[in-house]
């Protein structure tokens, strides 16, 4: 009986140590808060997770006007100006034309459009192997960039920005 009891304790300690070892099911994680810009009330959170060579983005927003809006990664982690122009243009490390993600040409920052519901809320989910978090590859690394939400949809044609209107929310992508 004593051996069984000690065995159960040992098994419990093993399971506890595995669960509390601090390991995660992702390699890297960055969480950010988007703040209102251009006189808007748009704000939200975004989480970037890197796992097995892919980065996923989940972004939750409030305060939007109902309808379609664009979201892009911009070249600078600088949201200091009232209109977020300080974040620069779209992140385009491969010097392609602006377009729709997955088409022949697009910027690495051209995430695309999403729809806010009648209450002005939206969730964006995006996943790609063309980004990394802190890998140091200038053509893939999203750290040190800015995440921008626009007031209008991206038309995927107008160069270099997609004619998406004002920048209504911004956050630096930093750890």
Q: Is residue 87 part of a domain?
A: yes
User: Cβ contacts of residue 108 below 8 Å, gap of 6+?
Assistant: 73, 91, 92, 93, 94, 130, 131, 139, 140
Q: Which of 147, 160, 158, 164 is nearest to 68 (CA)?
A: 164
For residue 46, the SS3 value is strand
pLDDT digits (tens, 9 = 90+) for 53-91: 999 999 999 999 999 999 999 999 999 999 999 999 999
Whether the link from the prior residue into 160 is cis, omega within 30° of 0, is yes
Q: Is residue 19 part of a domain?
A: no
Domain of residue 96: give its range.
24-173
CB 107 within 8 A of CB 92: yes
Q: Is residue 12 part of a domain?
A: no
Q: What is the CA radius of gyration of the chain?
A: 20
CA 167 – CA 171 distance, rounded (Å)? 11
Residue 114: strand pairing partners: 69
Q: Is residue 3 part of a domain?
A: no
Q: Is residue 117 part of a domain?
A: yes
What is the domain-level CATH number for residue 93?
Answer: 2.60.40.200
Q: Is residue 2 part of a domain?
A: no
Phi/psi of residue 93, each to 5°? -70, -15
- pLDDT class of 26 with cuts at 50, 70, 90: confident
pTM value > 0.75: yes
Q: Is residue 126 part of a domain?
A: yes
CB 73 within 8 A of CB 30: no
Mean pLDDT of the chain: 89
User: What is the number of alpha carbons within 13 Å of residue 91 lying toward its C-beta?
Assistant: 29
Instruction: Please determine, for residue 3, whether its predicted confidence score (pLDDT) is greater than 70.
Output: no
Total domains, the chain: 1
Q: Is residue 15 part of a domain?
A: no
């Amino acid at each position: 009986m004593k051996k069984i009891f000690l065995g159960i304790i040992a098994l419990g300690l093993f399971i506890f140590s595995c669960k509390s070892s601090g390991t995660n099911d992702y390699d890297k994680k960055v969480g950010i808060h988007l703040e209102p810009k251009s006189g808007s009330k748009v704000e939200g959170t975004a989480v970037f997770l890197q796992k097995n060579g892919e980065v996923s983005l989940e972004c939750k927003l409030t305060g939007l006007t109902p309808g379609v809006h664009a979201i892009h990664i911009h070249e600078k982690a600088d949201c200091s100006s009232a209109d977020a122009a300080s974040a620069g243009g779209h992140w385009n490390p491969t010097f392609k034309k602006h377009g729709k993600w997955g088409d022949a040409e697009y910027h690495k920052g051209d995430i695309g459009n999403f729809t806010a519901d009648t209450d002005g809320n939206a969730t964006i989910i995006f996943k790609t192997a063309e980004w990394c978090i802190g890998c140091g590859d200038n053509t893939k690394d999203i750290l040190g960039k800015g995440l921008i939400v626009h007031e209008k949809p991206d038309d995927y044609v107008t160069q270099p920005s997609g004619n998406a209107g004002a920048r209504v929310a911004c956050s630096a992508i930093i750890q």
